[in-house]
Amino acid sequence: MKRVMLSTVLLVLLAAPFAWGADRIRIGYSSISGSYIGIWVAHDAGLFAREGLEDQIILIPSGSQLAQVTVAGEVEIGSFNGSSAMAAALKGADIKIIGNTVNKMIFSVYVRPEIKSVEALKGRKLGVTRFGSSTDISARYALRKHNLQPEKEVAILQMGSMSSIMGGLQGGSIEAGVVSPPTLFAVDKLGFKELINITDMNLTFPNPSLIVQGGILRNRPEIVDRFMRAYVRGMHRARTDKELTMKSIARYSKVEDPVFLQKAYDLYIGKVLERAPYIDMTGMQNALDDLAKTVPAAKSAKPEQFIDLRFLDNLEKSGLLKELYR
């Protein structure tokens, strides 16, 4: 089934039309989250085209599936949980992290009204998108912080997507779920209650990262440089053109409520997203420490072996950030 799903994704990618005369770039992202505002705005504002790139941004709502597509080189840029990228690299995948769009986990655990305390989660079912995803890592971290054992005391279920977690809460197939903005705001409005604010726990983590396959890094580095330039222009535009940014959030999240959109804008632009996709090495080490629980090779690994910093360095040397934020 996984092979069929991956083949379907690749078929869609290969069939997508591109204009002549520009360099093609496919950018995959793994969830509907404000973490991707820089990519959304850069696309909607034509900033990739400004760099001579014919871009296609593609939602592949599974980090593990997007990791496979990225490893295969079928997208030039894959944006998903940095822990998944490091896990793939430890198994021999030829990929590198070139930046992080967010350096902390932005989630909350929401529960059905009958759950009144964290202790009451014992024996209940908690929904995440996929095992090994950022929702799964965040859920296990939060449970352990509250002295609950994941899977032994709280069952963890794969729901597939953020919208499916919301549906599971509504339908009663799960009593708790890990959600991020703007879905979080919709879940709150439906009457479900925030039990654990993972964002406030300040778990430094590469989520999501920008990942590129080694062959692309070696053979088409100029494409990656131009992507980075368009991305930082997108972040600048997001900060200076609120109307466009709100439209982009609404377009990709399918959320139309102006209150939810305002909250998402304030959170991500005001507190979460940086001007450029800098890498927090503490977060990288945290990801490795988490991986070491299940992947023995992670115990002796160093964050630096998974990173290619030359594109961030080129960005700094170009003077673009100084030009945008002078």
User: What CATH code is carried by the domain that includes residue 316?
Assistant: 3.40.190.10
Structure tokens at 258: 């102006």
pLDDT tens figures, 261-295: 999 999 999 999 989 999 999 999 999 999 999 99
pLDDT tens figures, 87-105: 999 999 999 999 999 999 9
| pLDDT at residue 139, rounded to an integer | 97
Structure tokens at 203: 């778990």
Helix residue ranges, H only, 196-280: 214-219, 221-240, 242-253, 258-267
**CA 238 from centroid of its chain's CA atoms:** 18
The residue type found at 246 is: M
Instruction: Please compute the mean of the pLDDT values over residues 117-139 and round it to a whole number.
Output: 94
| pLDDT at residue 22, rounded to an integer | 76
Domain that holds residue 147: 108-201
| pLDDT at residue 207, rounded to an integer | 92
pLDDT tens figures, 19-37: 445 799 999 999 888 999 9
Count: domains in the chain: 2
| pLDDT at residue 21, rounded to an integer | 57
| pLDDT at residue 61, rounded to an integer | 81
Under 8 Å between Cβ of 63 and 30 = yes
Pick from 71, 64, 70, 87: nearest CA to 301 = 87
Phi and psi torsions of 249, nearest 5°: -60, -45
Q: Which of 156, 175, 201 corresponds to the end of one domain?
A: 201
Pick from 78, 136, 95: nearest CA to 290 = 136
Phi and psi torsions of 176, nearest 5°: -145, 155
Q: Which of 140, 173, 201 corresponds to the end of one domain?
A: 201
Instruction: Please compute the mean of the pLDDT values over residues 165-171 and round it to a whole number.
Output: 96
Pick from 204, 202, 226, 206: nearest CA to 307 = 206
**Helices (runs of H) and strands (runs of E) counted in the chain:** 15, 10
| pLDDT at residue 8, rounded to an integer | 47
Share of the chain above pLDDT 90, in %: 83
pLDDT tens figures, 61-82: 877 789 999 999 999 999 999 9
Residues 157 and 292 occupy one common structural domain? no
Residues 216 and 148 occupy one common structural domain? no
Phi and psi torsions of 175, nearest 5°: -100, -15
The reported pTM is 0.86
Residues 121 and 99 occupy one common structural domain? no
pLDDT over 70 at 14, yes or no: no
Give the side-chain half-sphere CA count within 13 A for 35.
28
| pLDDT at residue 296, rounded to an integer | 95
Residues 191 and 318 occupy one common structural domain? no
Residues 94 and 219 occupy one common structural domain? yes
Residues 170 and 114 occupy one common structural domain? yes
pLDDT over 60 at 226, yes or no: yes
Q: Is 211 helix (H, G, I), strand (E, B) or coil?
A: strand
Pick from 232, 319, 230, 222: nearest CA to 51 = 230
pLDDT tens figures, 302-320: 999 999 999 999 999 999 9
Instruction: Please compute the mean of the pLDDT values over residues 214-241 and round it to a whole number.
Output: 98
Give dist(CA 118, CA 148) in Å, integer. Answer: 9
Radius of gyration of the chain (CA): 19
Instruction: Please compute the mean of the pLDDT values over residues 169-189 and round it to a whole number.
Output: 94
The residue type found at 36 is: Y
CA angle 177-284-235, nearest 5°?
A: 75
Answer with the residue of higher pLDDT: 271 or 16.
271
